Structure 1
Amino acid sequence: MRRTVAVVLIALGVFFLAFAPMMRTWMSSSLMKTPLDYYSQTVNEGEVDYFNIEDVEPVENARVEAHSTIRADVASSTDDTVVWDQFTWIKDADTDFGISSTSRRAGHDRVTGEAVDCCDAMINDEAATQAGILWKFPFFPEQRDYDFYETTVQEVVPMEFQGVEDIEGVETYRYVQTVEPTTVGERTIPRSVAGLEGDGDITGDEQFSIVRTYWVDAVTGTPIKVSEDQHRVVVYEGEEVLTLLSGELTFDEASVQDKIQSSEQGRTLLPLLRTTIPVGSLIVGVGLIAIATVLLIAGRRGAH
């Protein structure tokens, strides 16, 4: 009888030992992928100075919103790569004046978030080969710097890890990307707009700088909160003569809550599948085999 029980316990122990790595690798890996039907709408808000090109005058301390929509292109995506289309519209929240708009398309790895060169990647309808992390960080991001693609200067600029913070009960890693003033084009404006004497126009360099902060879910890699403090100006003969856009825009509360809710399932299940259940299975498996061994030894002694 003891031998029969021992054999059953050994079989169960082996099952739990085999079950542990299966849970950690196969089942958790199946969940550690960005959805192919991903869709997101976010709003960044803040007080900003900008130049109204219709009224040809600067506007100070305006209440500004940046509305961003991301939609996955299911037809162009694969099991390993998801393709996203993004459109962002920045407007004066009080007057509805459209300050600027941008569009973007790129493919990225569904697990790591790194760029994949495919699928007619573009920025503002111009072909653009993108690299590094594009939008989302990898699952279980590390406390280190990451290469992150900046779309205005169209270069990879490091996202530097700067600490762990709690965002409404969610553990996040804070990463900061700093782009120093960079010339991104030219802008021709009237001398009067630039505050210069005389008639006619001047052509100056359009310079862009930004400090971008991501608070990233420590499990799913989802940005829970995003802040962008940007400065876009016209520089003429070494002097800033016109502010095109300057100020900090941050996720509004609805956007933060949406990101918290959309990442909740992964944040709950993945630690269970990768750690809690596998470790528990190993302990149970070893325990069952140990009990079976004791029963077998006891049975042999009893036989003598």
Structure 2
Amino acid sequence: MPLNSTSSSHPAYFLLVGIPGLEKEQFWVAFPFCLMYSIAVLGNITLLLVIRAERSLHQPMYLFLAMLACTDLVLSTSVLPKMLGIFWLGSREIGFVSCLAQLFVIHTFSTVESGVLMAMALDRYVAVCRPLRHRSLLPTPVVLALGALVLLRGVLLVAPTCFLLLRLPYCQHHLIPHSYCEHMAVARLACRDTRANGAYGLFVAFTVAGTDLTLISVSYTRILQVVLSLPSTGARLKAFSTCASHLCIMLAFYVPAFFSFLTHRVGQNIPPHVHIIVANLYMLIPPTLNPIVYGVRTKEIWGKVVLVFRRKGI
């Protein structure tokens, strides 16, 4: 049956497959995904409420953590409700405009998350390597300005992908072999040359990851040099533990991101269900782990959380 069109070349809607090759099993796959999403929402909202309520936490590290929590909430919520609708209810249809909006939010806030992780690494560098100048170098207005710049960077870099997709004719192709709208997954449905989309996607990925990973690597290299020079073994172990947990978070974000990105371009031999599951976990693992690693393992935040529950008699 032909699709109605919002224009001569744009379908009225797309159909999301879910997990190609696992259409029967994805009903059960949705349960761990739902559990992870619930933990992510509860953990990140708790972090935001605690940081907002406690003035002692209005410091650069915790303000960046609040930005990370907001980003994680937006990222996971832009994907999971629709994904669960596909897995449990068979609600696969998504409007053309809604698909572009979801795509824009996902890619923008993935870029924002990378930028916030970079800003947090710079904050740790200043705190460890320039402790006496930490407050003067990163006052609250500077922290908020960095957050605004990271968001603006994401919007400016990702917006052209939507315009590139809008210019393409889709010739009634409307089945997306994915659980959510992703730039190249949508571009592949077009019946016109999409090399401009691929080239621009590469430019954005390498611009963001190249800049952010370089600054993160330099920051943690300098931090480790300072840590190794500490006279106390206990202090070194504590610092190593903190750095290791932060680096694990970054690996959990960047490794699935690069896997998904490269699979679209050079990973034709990778089974589709493996690619899509990793892409889904990319939307879930960082939002689930971030409040645990940065919240539970951070003494100041964990202490405030315990204090709040004690006040309420829980």
Tell me the TM-score normalised to structure 2 length. 0.24
Could you say which structure has the higher strand fraction?
A: 1
Which protein shows a greater Rg?
1
Tell me the TM-score normalised to structure 1 length. 0.25
Whose RCO is larger (CA < 8 A, sep 6+)?
Answer: 2
